[in-house]
Amino acid sequence: MMKKSIGYVALSVVFLTTSCKQESAADKITSSDMEAVAAAKALEGKFPKVKLDKLEHDFGTINEGDIVETEFMVTNDGEVDLIISDAKGSCGCTVPQPPKEPIKPGASAPIKVSFNSQGKPGAQKKMVTLTTNTSKGYETFEIKANVTPKAGISATTK
């Protein structure tokens, strides 16, 4: 029994001394990790900058039920590619169509925006929000229109 106990103790000591080899954090860093850090430091503080040709578009007076479109031109005034990851109107009647590809520094691209005036009589003002990789993380602009309501249906039928 004593030999078994000594054997277990010896086995435990061997196991503990070989399994407790500690790796430092430096042992875990690869060259690709270092390249990624260098690239991030090179871009540190550099963001794309959005410049829009206008911040608001007024469709003027339109008839209820009209679907109207306009285009906003976005220019990247920053030092790195501008990525527009999402674009949303403040309601389902406003549909923006941003570019799918990144916009290079100095380049421009259109953002089409359509507005469906069905069921929207009166003065309308809708916001479009772009989710971007700018320092702020988003950009906004507006569309507006004065929608003339549809004429009422006559109560008499022929």
Q: How confident is the model at residue 10 (pLDDT cuts 50, 70, 90)?
A: low
Does the model's pTM come out above 0.85?
no
Burial class of residue 131 in the structure, from the number of CB atoms within 10 Å of its CB (0-12 exposed, 13-18 middle, 19+ buried):
middle
Percentage helix, strand, coil for the chain under 3-state DSSP, each rounded to 5: 20, 40, 35
Which of 37-51, 61-75, 116-130 is predicted with the least confidence, judged by mean pLDDT? 37-51
Phi-psi region for residue 7, left (φ > 0), alpha (ψ -120 to 50) or beta? alpha
Compute the average pLDDT of residues 12-32: 53
Q: Pairing relation of β-strands 67-76 and 50-52? A: antiparallel
Q: How confident is the model at residue 45 (pLDDT cuts 50, 70, 90)?
A: confident
Q: How confident is the model at residue 60 (pLDDT cuts 50, 70, 90)?
A: very high
pLDDT at 68 over 70: yes
* 130 vs 8 pLDDT, higher one: 130
Q: What does the pLDDT read at residue 41?
A: 46
Compute the average pLDDT of residues 118-133: 96
CA-to-CA dists, residue 104 to 49, 66, 130, 135, angstroms: 11, 35, 17, 16
Closest CA to 130 of 97, 102, 88, 90: 88
- Amino acid 62 reads I
